[in-house]
Amino acid sequence: MQRGFDRNWILWVFRKMLLAWKKLVVGPIRYAKGRGYDAERYWRDRFDKHGLSLRGPGVEGDSEQKNKEGYEQAGAIFLELLRKEAIDFSTARVAEIGMGTGFYTDLLAKQGTQDYVGVDITDVLFGYLRKRHPNFRFEKKDVTADRLEGHFDLMIMMDVIEHIVEPQKLTFALKNIQECLTDGGILVLSGVHDRTKKLLFYLHSWSPEEIRSRAMGLEWKGPIPFRANDVMLAKKPHTSEEHLPGGESPDRRKNRTKQRRRGYLFLT
């Protein structure tokens, strides 16, 4: 019994060391691209390797069972957050950025979602997803470089933001999403950390402040504890409620301009 335990432990340590070698040494060389990495190639290879296993989009070094437990807990929190926002899944136009194996796609379908677009940087699993959800649409796009099309009442990007490692790409992605939200539309964004820091060649933590500063036209909630990191919600104000940078509404800005022209300016 002890020998079996020792053998299993040695194998576990060996796998962890091999994975660390790939992520710290091999990966940065193989996927190097400019100041970041070749995300399309990396995720294509990773999903080719793991297929429908949750180790693909999840924690690669954890077991399938441990990943499953983490996703189930996250899924429960995700649905509770959307219930509090009173989302009508049957009528909402929904877009998911980075659906991977389709865990959240399945959750949304079970809630009655009819109008759904899934966008991912690789189409490795699109055949499977289309068979599972024939009425949903799936598009191969890079949210950090390709303009999204359409307008949506609900947009979700789960555990994707931490795989955007360049600041300018993060800015593009968040503006891209913001432009596609309808007035009153909701964004759910997970993978938020308490501070900004590059961790691995394909992994970068972004703080709530970094995220808010790149999407100032949205009203943010959170961060809220979620798996190993946090989740944030954002709402796009209705046009009549929208505030410009600095907290001013369009009417207030107009009045302030008139005051400046008269030679006086009072801020209250």
* 168 Cβ contact list (under 8 Å, min separation 6): none
- In angstroms, how far is the first alpha carbon of the chain from the final one? 75
Q: How far apart are CA 206 and CA 171, in angstroms?
A: 12
pLDDT in tens, the chain (268 residues): 455 557 777 776 767 777 777 888 888 999 999 889 999 999 999 999 999 999 999 988 899 999 999 999 999 999 999 999 999 999 999 999 999 999 999 999 999 999 999 999 999 999 999 999 999 999 999 999 999 999 999 999 999 999 999 999 999 999 999 999 999 999 999 999 988 988 899 999 999 999 999 999 999 998 999 888 899 999 999 875 444 443 444 444 344 334 333 332 223 3
Phi, psi of 11 (to 5 degrees): -65, -40
> What is the pTM assigned to this prediction?
0.83
Same domain, 46 and 159: no
CA gap 208, 233 in Å, rounded: 11
pLDDT value at position 4?
52
Tell me if 115 sits within 8 A of 154, measured CB to CB.
Answer: no
What's the CA angle centered on 206, arms 68 and 71, to 5 degrees? 10
**211 vs 209: CA distance, rounded Å:** 5
196 neighbors 164 (Cβ within 8 angstroms)? no
Do 107 and 184 lie in one domain? The reply is yes
Q: Which residue type, as a one-letter code, is found at position 221?
A: K
Give me the pLDDT at residue 235, please: 96
Same domain? For 198 and 90 the reply is yes
Question: In terms of Cα–Cα distance, which of 197, 196, 192, 177 is closest to 222?
Answer: 192
Final residue belonging to a domain, choices 26, 43, 64: 64
Between the alpha carbon of residue 156 and those of residues 54, 145, 181, the distances in Å are 18, 18, 11
DSSP state, residue 218? S
- If asked whether residues 98 and 188 sit together in one domain, one would say yes
Whether 37 maps to a domain, the answer reads: yes
> Domain check: are 58 and 120 in the same one?
no
> Domain check: are 208 and 114 in the same one?
yes
Domain match, 87 and 103 both:
yes
Amino acid, single-letter form, for residue 40: E
Tell me how many domains the chain contains: 2
CB atoms within 10 A of CB 168: 11
pLDDT of residue 228: 80
Q: Which two tokens stand for residue 255?
A: 């009045």
| Cβ atoms 242, 217 nearer than 8 A | yes
Range of the domain at 58: 2-64
Q: What gap in Å lies between CA 107 and CA 78, rounded to an integer?
A: 9
Q: Is residue 98 domain-shared with residue 116, that is, in the same domain?
A: yes
Pair 185, 95 in one domain: yes
Q: What is the CATH number of the domain that holds 165?
A: 3.40.50.150
Is residue 254 assigned to a domain? no
103 plus 206 within the same structural domain: yes
Is residue 267 a part of any domain in this protein? no
For residue 29, is it within any domain? yes
